A and B are shown apart, each in its own frame.
Chain A
């Protein structure tokens, strides 16, 4: 059995020092949490709020059961990289990487799907067959997200449900911070506890905790959970039946009223956390290290 070469990704980790004062620090976050807590809905609303504020946004769907294209109202392709954008790299188990002549910016420009004003979407694609080949583009898509660093752009990643996307430690390659999402259920809270422990073990404490489908009682409980985990409480996005109905009806999701206001607060706090993270020293990772 060949060695599983996750170092392929680590080589792409670059540390960006704090940007100049006049330039907004980019948000680079990954939304993590139990399935069904609303990661995709939050990612969609976050992208919308950022785009409306004049930012450009690279949305990444890192779930092989994708849904971000529906929620963002993707107008054209699904944002997958074509196989020509990927080059074989013999000797590693995954064996594939982004074509060396293709920069991350070009890849986004050429292949990311357009989703309304200012938002582009990259996705891994969906498992559609028992003999799927997603691994071929999987790592190349991650590489694009990792090295994409255009001024004026934010990067919002919608992760797979559960803990396994953080497991291989490579998430720090493509974002600065993980955002823990809960809906206040005991099991979703438990998943956040597990995610926080995994992120800390990588010397990358999460950006914070956000409560989705909030009410007053659950907001108090979520604040307490954030204190337990020693992470910032990033806010509570209220229960909103319009969000649920958009999910059932395949309608693009555009938040209004209290929901939009809460997502605006979330965006502001995320930018603050990313600005703080940018002043921290880079994470060092040694070959063969097992934490």
Chain B
């Protein structure tokens, strides 16, 4: 099963993805984490070391044609063997690509094409859960082409901008035939759960309170209780 974690920048996608991975691993689930962000940082949260010191698929596989958008297709075992790194929470992590310098290749190429390929090559199965931490916004989600077998986790905070991105995410997920989409409403203070519920009626919500300790920190190994519950639900669905 693939779990795609998406949302506006800064809402806590990486925090949620890492907490989810850690909680799933705690529950004995076979999990693989993918950092599909071209400015990756999931490694910091999973305890895998500094992201810039780790391998990234696109940075190690040059494009096939000098002016083309595609590199050679990758096979799942090769990705895991060659590029996955171990992390302290016990979940192997694959970084898809890191933008290190300017290029004349267009925005759809390079790390994005690779992210697309890696996410497609690792579909998971009933025993293995693949959790992808996507780039901010909606582009990656469109390219990942989720379908009925996948779970879309849209992370939001109570700001109207993030909620607007979430509304569009849910609408696009429906359009693509995703039947399992849920929203993690993150960083909620006092009366803000109401703001989110009003903005996203008829939506499966996981509400996570604002944790001052998580604000502007790298949440190494943190697992908020709400995310533990979500992990248990996902683990049960996989069975």
Which A residues have a C-beta under 8 Å from some C-beta of B?
Answer: 1, 3-7, 34-37, 40, 63-65, 67, 70, 93-94, 126-130, 132, 160-164, 166-169, 183-188, 190-191, 194, 197-198, 201-202, 244, 247-250, 288-291
Write 30 A-B pairs (CB below 8 A) sorted by A numbering. A7-B104, A34-B10, A34-B39, A35-B9, A36-B9, A67-B160, A94-B106, A126-B168, A127-B142, A130-B142, A130-B172, A130-B175, A161-B9, A161-B136, A162-B38, A162-B136, A163-B39, A164-B39, A167-B110, A184-B216, A190-B39, A191-B39, A197-B101, A198-B102, A201-B102, A247-B159, A247-B161, A249-B160, A289-B104, A290-B104
B67 touches A4 (CB 8 A): yes
A130 touches B107 (CB 8 A): no
- In the complex, what residues of B have CB within 8 A of residue A161's CB? 8-10, 135-137
Given contacts A162-B9, A198-B100, is CB(A1)–CB(B139) below 8 Å? no
A4 touches B108 (CB 8 A): yes
Cβ of B169 to closest chain A Cβ, rounded Å: 9
- In the complex, what residues of A have CB within 8 A of residue B9's CB? 34-36, 65, 161-162
A163 interface neighbour in B38, B65, B69, B172, Cβ under 8 Å = B38
CA distance A178 to B25 in the complex (A): 41
A248 interface neighbour in B112, B135, B160, Cβ under 8 Å = B160
Decide if B99 is an interface residue (CB 8 Å cutoff). Answer: yes
B136 interface neighbour in A35, A128, A132, Cβ under 8 Å = A35
- In the complex, what residues of B have CB within 8 A of residue A249's CB? 160
- In the complex, what residues of B have CB within 8 A of residue A160's CB? 136-137
- In the complex, what residues of A have CB within 8 A of residue B133's CB? none
Which B residues have a C-beta under 8 Å from some C-beta of A?
Answer: 8-11, 14, 37-39, 41, 44, 51-52, 65, 67-70, 98-112, 135-139, 142, 158-161, 164-165, 168, 171-172, 175-176, 192, 195, 216-218
How many Cβ-Cβ contacts under 8 Å join chain A to chain B?
Answer: 161
Cβ of A182 to closest chain B Cβ, rounded Å: 10
- In the complex, what residues of B have CB within 8 A of residue A128's CB? 168, 171-172
Given contacts A1-B68, A65-B161, A65-B165, is CB(A198)–CB(B44) below 8 Å? no
B137 interface neighbour in A93, A127, A167, A247, Cβ under 8 Å = A127
Cβ of A236 to closest chain B Cβ, rounded Å: 14
Cβ of A189 to closest chain B Cβ, rounded Å: 10
Extra inter-chain contacts (17) besides given A65-B138, A187-B41, A194-B52, CB under 8 Å: A6-B106, A35-B136, A36-B8, A65-B9, A67-B161, A70-B161, A128-B172, A161-B8, A161-B135, A162-B39, A164-B107, A168-B103, A168-B107, A169-B102, A186-B216, A190-B51, A201-B101
Cβ of B76 to closest chain A Cβ, rounded Å: 24
CA distance A287 to B192 in the complex (A): 52
CA distance A43 to B68 in the complex (A): 35
- In the complex, what residues of A have CB within 8 A of residue B51's CB? 190
B104 interface neighbour in A127, A168, A190, Cβ under 8 Å = A168
Cβ of B197 to closest chain A Cβ, rounded Å: 13
- In the complex, what residues of B have CB within 8 A of residue A191's CB? 39
Given contacts A36-B9, A161-B137, A248-B160, is CB(A127)–CB(B39) below 8 Å? no
B67 touches A65 (CB 8 A): no
A186 touches B192 (CB 8 A): no
Cβ of A162 to closest chain B Cβ, rounded Å: 4
B159 touches A248 (CB 8 A): yes
Cβ of B139 to closest chain A Cβ, rounded Å: 7
Given contacts A161-B10, A167-B102, A197-B100, is CB(A65)–CB(B137) below 8 Å? yes
Which of B52, B69, B99, B176 has the most chain A CB atoms closer than 10 A to its own CB? Answer: B99
- In the complex, what residues of A have CB within 8 A of residue B68's CB? 1
